[in-house]
Each structure stands twice: as C-alpha cells, then as structure tokens.
Amino acid sequence: MIKIGLAGFGDHEELYGKIKPALRLPTYSGHFSIVEIDSSFYAIQPVRNYEKWVEQTPEGFGFVVKAYQGMTGHLRGKKNYYDSKAEMFQAFHHSTQPVINGGKLAMALFQFPPWFDCTQDNIDILLDTKELMKDVPCALEFRNSSWYTPEFQDKTLQLIEREGWIHTVADEPQAGTGSIPIVPVATSPEMTLVRFHGRNVGGWNQSQHPDWRNLRYLYRYSTEELEEWRDILLELEKSSKVVYVVFNNNSGGDATDNAKELQAMLGIEDQGLAPRQLDLF
C-alpha cells in the first residue's frame, strides 16, 4: 500500500481555500490519509492538540510526528526547556499518547541535522535515541551525505535495519555534504517513509537568507520526475507493507498539486477519507 500526504495541514490554501483554522484538518483529511506534523519539531505539542487532531480525523488516518529539535541535536546553544534528555523524551511520549491510543501514529520522524555526520559518537546517539523511544515506530532521516558514501552506505543501511529504524528515502537538492542522495531501499518490512523536499539547488544552503525556509522548499516536480518516482515507489512497495509519501515542497503551493498528480499516476483512491464538504466553502 502507498499512502500520500503533505507536510503540515495548516497552510495549504490551494487545497481548502480560506477557511477557519479549526476546519483545515477535517477538510484536509477528505483528500489525504496521512499528514506530517511538523509543529512538533519546534515544540513538543500539548496533549490537547493531539486529542483534537485524532478526533478530527477518520479511522485509518495516520500521523507522521516529527521529533522535537532538542531530540535531534538541532538546538546548538538555543534554550532547551527540559533539564535532561530523559525528561525531554518522556515529554514527547506523553504528548503523543493520544495518537497512539487512537491507533493513528504511523511513526515518529527523526530528521538529524546537516552536521550530524557518520561517526562513532553519532552512531552511539542513534542507539541511545532508539532505546529511549521504546517500541514507538521511528523513521530516520539524515541530512549529511557521509552516511551514504560508497564506503559507508551498506553499513548505514545495515545499522538502520538492525536497530529497527524505518529508512527515510529523501528526494532533495544535490547540494554538497548537507544533502543526501536518493537511496530507495526499505529496511523495514512494515513501512518505509519517502519525503519530497524539492530540487531547488540554489535555495538549499541559503540559511542566511531572511526567508530561507520558503526559499529552500520552492520547487514544483514535473510530470516526468513524478513518473520516475511512481516506478520507484512501486518497487519499494514490494519490500514494505506501507510506503508513506510526504510532500514537503510547500513554499509555492506546489505540494498539493504534486501529491494529487502522483496519486492519480498510482491509481490511489484512499480508503477511509473524511467526507468532502467543499460545497460549504
């Protein structure tokens, strides 16, 4: 099975127009059966948020919850509101419990930063992180190419598989060590995660630009590029029961159109979608 969705549900006017924030997720869930929660990267979300989101979505809907930035080493001197690593992970577990109880947690996503390179110290961090996450399904995404050099790629994939991580296959600009190549390999028979970040090479490393987040993900995939991915996804589906696909190229409103086009190419008619009430808007 291949399930397609978008990163975030709150900023896709091209999908649902100008509607009240409270109506966005229910409307979104009439089009896609999964969503990536990225607000959890910036702050561990209150339990009430997850309770509301679970209630607003139909049975069979899935959440990919991005790990808090303190859990992936992104803070680098910024204030961490938790006194210990154990407390931080415990807070994340507590936060996401409503999604687990509701049977709607697809996975937690651990996206490590560009400076997280292939070293023994960082391997130890991966081992410790996986232990702290207990039995929660966890996807692993790198942003440093050293993990996929000819010398280390096979060992990286073996490590991911051995430790029970879900491999994240990323499509992103090939822009130096701070990006990774497409490595379409499944390490879990249960699930694989694919994330589309766009291919804006010029915008990828512009972290000093005042609007760098939008610049980085400003890209529209062509039909030809999506056709290539259709074939890759069908191959991945042979190795994993569910392939979760998330479009993160949100900056220009392209994620929705690209996701819809790929759904059509794959002949996906998602089961369990919420009823569409577009006539109300």
- Share above pLDDT 70 across residues of the chain, in percent, rounded to a whole number: 93
Give the Cα separation of 137 and 133 in Å (integer).
8
Q: What is the structure's pLDDT at 240?
A: 97
Q: Give me the torsion for CA of 116, 121, 126, 127, rounded to 10°.
A: 180
Looking from the CA of 100 toward its CB, the CA atoms found within 13 Å total 13
Burial class (CB within 10 angstroms; exposed 0-12, middle 13-18, buried 19+) of 280:
exposed
Burial class (CB within 10 angstroms; exposed 0-12, middle 13-18, buried 19+) of 125:
middle
Give the Cα separation of 28 and 17 in Å (integer).
11
Region 141-168 average pLDDT: 96
Give the Cα separation of 248 and 141 in Å (integer).
14
Q: pTM of this prediction?
A: 0.92
Which two tokens mark 261?
A: 């086009």
CB 19 within 8 A of CB 44: no
CB 99 within 8 A of CB 105: yes
Region 193-216 average pLDDT: 78
H/E stretch holding 9:
none
Region 36-41 average pLDDT: 96
What is the rounded average pLDDT for all residues in the chain? 91
Residue 257, Cβ neighbours under 10 Å: how many? 16
Residue of 239 and 279 predicted with greater confidence: 239
Residue 30 has pLDDT above 50, yes or no: yes
Residue 185 has pLDDT above 50, yes or no: yes
pLDDT digits (tens, 9 = 90+) for 70-127: 999 998 777 788 889 999 999 999 999 999 999 999 999 999 999 999 999 999 999 9
* 15-to-19, 52, 56, 218, 241 alpha-carbon distances in Å: 10, 21, 17, 17, 28
Q: What is the structure's pLDDT at 210?
A: 61
Q: What is the structure's pLDDT at 276?
A: 60
Q: What is the structure's pLDDT at 77?
A: 74
Residue 145 has pLDDT above 60, yes or no: yes
Residue of 132 and 205 predicted with greater confidence: 132
CA 222 remoteness from chain centre: 21
Q: What is the structure's pLDDT at 129?
A: 97
Give the Cα separation of 281 and 269 in Å (integer).
23
